[in-house]
Structure 1
Amino acid sequence: MRLRQSQSVQTKTKLSNTLRSWLPILQAGLEELEEELKAYEKENPYMEVRSGFESQFSAIFTKKVLYHGDRSSSSEAIEALTVHRKSIYELLYEQINAPLFPTPLSESVAYALIEEIGSEGYFEGEIEAIAERFGISSSQVEKIRHRFAYLDPPGVGALNAPEAMLFQLRQSGVEEPIYSLVEQMLEDFENIGRFRGHNDYEAALKVIRTFKNPPAIETLEASVPIIPDLVITTTSEGIDVAINDAFYPDIHIEEDGCDHAFVRKKIKEARDLIDALQMRKATLYKIGLMIVEFQYDFFHGGDIRPMKLKDIAEEFDHNPSTISRAIANKYLMCDRGIFPMKSFFTAGIDEEVSNASIKRFITEAIASEDRNKPLSDQKLLEMIEAKFGVKMVRRTVTKYRKQMQIGGSSERKRFYRLA
C-alpha cells in the first residue's frame, strides 16, 4: 500500500510539474495546438510534430467546399463541425409574435418586410408595394416597420445608418438628457457638427460610437469550422465521452544514439512535451466525464444546471484558474450541437437554479403580461421567489432584464400603447 501511495504521489507530482511547465499546450484551442507545438519544434532538432489536424481536415473538407461548394455530404460535415450561428433572417422570424405583432395582418406585413431586408440589416424594399400587396396604407406599413426597432439585432429594418442608430438608441438604456441629445443628433445627422457646443456633446458622441454599422454586422461574419476536443455520444445504453484524437498532432522523437548532454536535454524536453500532450487529453477527458455527470439532463434534452469551476478544481486538486485555462477555447460536440466547454459552467442562484432559468422565466413572464399593467421588477422578483423557492434582491432582476435588453415596466407600457 505504501509503495502504491508513493508511486501515486510521484506520478501526480510529475504530471503537476509537466502541467505547469507546458501550460500553453493545455490552454491552446485544438486549432492552435499544432502551432504551439511547432514553436517548441523549432528549438529542438530531435523532435518532429506531425499534423493530425491538417491531414484529417484536408481529407474531409476541400477548399472548394469550405469557401464555395454546393451542398453535399462534405458541406454537411462542415456544418457538423461548425458552431451554428443563426442568420439574420432566422433571428427575425423567431421574433415575429405578440406583443410587437399581435395580429395576423401585422405578422404577415412583418414577414414581408423581412423579405426585403438585405444581408447588412437594412430595409431595401418599397413600402408602397407592400402596402398595395396587403391593401393597407403606406403609413400602416411604416408603423409596423418601426416596431423592428425593438428586435434583435438592434437597428435591423432601418432605411439607413442614422435610422439604424436611432433604432439602436431605443434599446440602449441611455438615460436623459443624453438620450434626447443623441436622438436630435441622429435625426439631423448630416449637420451633426452643429451640436458641438452642447455641454453633453462628447458624451452623446461616445454613445453614437457604440452603435453597430451595419446593424447586422455580427451575422455577416463567416462561421469558422470548429474542431471539438471532446465528442459526447448519447445512446440507449448511456453516454460515451471520447477525446477527438483524430485531429491531435503527434510528437515523434528522433534519437541518433549520441550520448551528449545537449542531446539528452532535448530528448527529455521532447518527452516532457509528450507527457504534457497526454496530460491535456487526460485533463479534458476527465472534465468531460464530470460535465456529463453534472449535466446529465442536458444531454437528454434538458437545461444546463449550475456548475462551478470550483467543483471540478477540487476533484483535480488544482486551482480553479488552472481549470479555467484548461477549458478556454475548447469545444464539446454532442447530439445537440457544438458548445464551448465554458458554457456548461453557469453561475447559479442556488445549486438547482441557474441564471439561465431565471432569465427564461423573466422573458416568458413579460411576454404574457397584462399590457395595461406591465410587471414591475419587484413583482417579477416575487414571482421568481415563489416559482423557484430562492431568495434574491430586486436589483438582480433589473440586471437580468437589462442584459436581455428588455425595457422597464413604464417603458413597456408606453410601447404597448404605441403598438
Structure 2
Amino acid sequence: MNQKIIFSQTLKQTFKLNHTLINSLDFLKLDNYEIAQLISKALQTNPFLEINTNNGEKVDYENNYIENISTSLSLNDELQKQLLTVPLPYDKSIMNFLIDSLNSQGFLSYSEEEYLSFLHINKETFYFHVHILQSLDPSGVGAFDIYDSICIQLRKLKKHNTYKMLRKYKEYILSYNYQNIMTHTSLTKDEIDNIYHDIRLCNLYPCSQYSKDNNNIIQPDISVFIDDNQIMIEPFNQPNIMINHDLYSKVKDNEQMRDYFKNASFLIENINKRNQSLLLISNALVNIQRGHFLYNDELIPCTLRDLSQLCGYHESTISRTLNNKYYLFNNEVYPLKNLMVSKTNMGDSSDAIKKAITLLIENENKNHPLSDQKLVEELAAMDLYCSRRAVTKYREQLQIASSFKRKNRI
C-alpha cells in the first residue's frame, strides 16, 4: 500500500518536468551517452518504459549500463594498468601527477616551466617521466598539443622522414597550402603528398574513446567493421527500450497514465528516428570513404551538400546529426566529421580526376602519348591536383595502358 502511494506521488512530481524536457530536446543533436542518460531518467520516472532484453530478465540500467561505460573508458585506469609493465624505474608520484594533469584530449595541461615548479624537479627528470607516459597507448597520449601528438605517433609508426620534415617545416606543412610549402621549402609535390598521407595515419584525437571523468564520457555512436571484405555498420551498444502494454491496458482509463503512455511513445519514436537518420547518413559517408576503410586510401572530398544529395536530408539536418558523433573502427574512436573533406584545389575528387585523365588520353598525340608525369602537369593546368603515383593508380583503375604501350609503332 505504501509503495503505491509513494509511486503515485513520484509520478505527480516528475511528470510535468519530464514532459517539458523531452519535448524541448533536439534528438538529432544527442550523442549516444546523452541518449543513455535520457533513457535512464525516463526509466526511473515513466512506469511504461522498460528495457527489452529478449529473455525476460530485469535490468538495472543506471548501474549496469552507464557505470559500465564509465569504467571501461577511464583513461587514468588504462594508463595506470600499463605502467605496471614498464621496466624502467620511475617515480610513482611524478607519474600520477602527470596522468592526473591530462586534459580531456589526453594532452598535458601545463607548460614545461609549470611542471618543473609544481614537481620541484629538473628538466632531465621531467622529460624522463614524460617519455614514459608518451610510450603508453593510445599512441599520442601525454603530448603537449596536437602537433606534438602527431610527432609521437609518426615516431611510433617509424615514419622517420615525415617526422623530420614536419619538425623542420612545421609552419608550412600545417598550413596545408601546397604552393606555400613548395615556395618556402625544398619539398616536391610528391614528397608533400607522402607527408600528408603519413599524417592522415595519425589520430588527431587519440584519447577520444576515454574520459577523464564520468561527466564527459565519449562513447561511439556506431561501429564500423570489415567482414569478408565488406564494410558493416551497426549502432553501438544502445539499449532497446519498449513499452509495457500489459500495464497500460490496466490503467489506460487514468488521464495521467495516458499522458505517461504518450510520453513514452514520443520518446521511443524520436530515438528511433534519430537512430535511423544517423545510420542512413553514416552509411552514405562510410560508403563514400570505403577505400579509406578497406585499403587505407586517402579520404576523398565529401561535403554536407554531397551527403544531402545522397540522403535527401537538408544540410543543416546532416550537420546536426553528425555533430559530436563518433564511430568505432579497429578499436579506435574517431569523430564522424573526420570523414568529411572539403573540396579544394589540392584535394579534388578522384572521379573528376579520372574523367579528366580519360579525356586527356583520348585526345593525346598517339605518336607522343602523355606520360604519367605529363598527365600530372596537364591536370594541374586544369586546376586538378594529384601526385604522379595517384595518376598511375587511377590510370590502372581505368584499365588504360602506360604511355609506352599506348605509343604508335611505325
TM bucket normalised to smaller: 0.3 to 0.5
TM-score by length of 2: 0.43
Q: Which of 1 and 2 has higher RCO (CA within 8 Å, sep 6+)?
A: 1
